[in-house]
Amino acid sequence: MAELTFRTGTMDAGKSTLALQTNHNHAARGRAGRLFTSHDRAGEAIVSSRLGLRADALEVSPDFDFWRFTVDALTQGARIDYLICDEAQFYTPEQIDQLAKVVDELQIDVFCFGILTDFRTRLFPGSARLVELADRTEVLQVEALCWCGKRATHNARTENGVMVTEGEVIVVGDVDDADAPAPAAVDDEVEVAYEVLCRQHHRRGLTAARARAVSLSPDPLPFA
């Protein structure tokens, strides 16, 4: 039986690495697949991982139709055994419905990878639909850590080094090295980056850079 699976985790959890590994494993068994992504860090139509692996993919725009694409390919004689769908949080709920239909009606395995919640801690619409429809949802066991050492469960967005909780849901940026100094702004350009945090430090807006600044500030004199 074909299945719709959703593997999720924070930004640093290694989802794209696993997407590429899953593709490799199935291809090595002689199965034919198609690779999809949306807004990857490396640019259009590429699945790239933090570890340096990358592969060509099909870019999923909001009007892309998975059902139409798959039926057309099969009608033209192509063989498709599975679909790998990276950055699935950016897909529309309608596209997730199409993927479920591909699984049920065409018996094609669909492996989705994506982030569950955005920088405001709200579910991405695509991820919400996947949680509703997937045969299996797994939280990845490669766990990212907050600067405090606790498990990082939330994605923070920073603009010029300052954490923000409002703005456009989709702004592409990479997870910066938390120990590196915040990048300087170029003219009016806002430097957007992401950092994974535990819930407590996300709630308090305490990124690694801010925690370091706070710890370096002189203590108030006890008798002042």
Q: Active-site residue among 44, 87, 132, 138?
A: 87
Q: How far is the CB of 206 from Zn ion (least distance, A)?
A: 7
* CB of 34 or CB of 202, closer to Zn ion: 202
Residues 6 or more apart whose CB falls under 8 angstroms from that of 61 comprise 38
Give me the residues that bind Zn ion (CB under 5 A), please.
146, 148, 150, 198, 201
Least distance from Zn ion to the Cβ atom of residue 137, Å: 25
Q: Which is nearer to Zn ion, 133 or 146 (CB)?
A: 146
Tell me how far, at minimum, the Cβ of 182 lies from Zn ion, in Å: 18
CA–CA distance from 190 to each of 17, 163, 174, 183, 199 (Å)?
29, 12, 14, 10, 25
CB of 10 to Zn ion, least distance (A): 12
32 vs 148 by CB, closer to Zn ion: 148
Token readout for 60 is 């999923």
Cβ burial 136-164 (10 Å sphere, 16+ → b, else e) = ebeebeebbebbeeeebbbbbbbbebebb
Q: How many CA atoms lie within 13 Å of 175's alpha carbon, on the beta-carbon side?
A: 21
Q: Report residue 123: phi and psi, to 5°.
A: -60, 135
Residue 111 and residue 88 in contact, taking contact as beta carbons nearer than 8 Å: no
Q: Is 94 a catalytic residue?
A: no
Nearer to Zn ion, 145 or 182 (CB): 145
CB–CB of 8/15 below 8 Å?
A: yes
Q: Which residues are catalytic?
A: 87
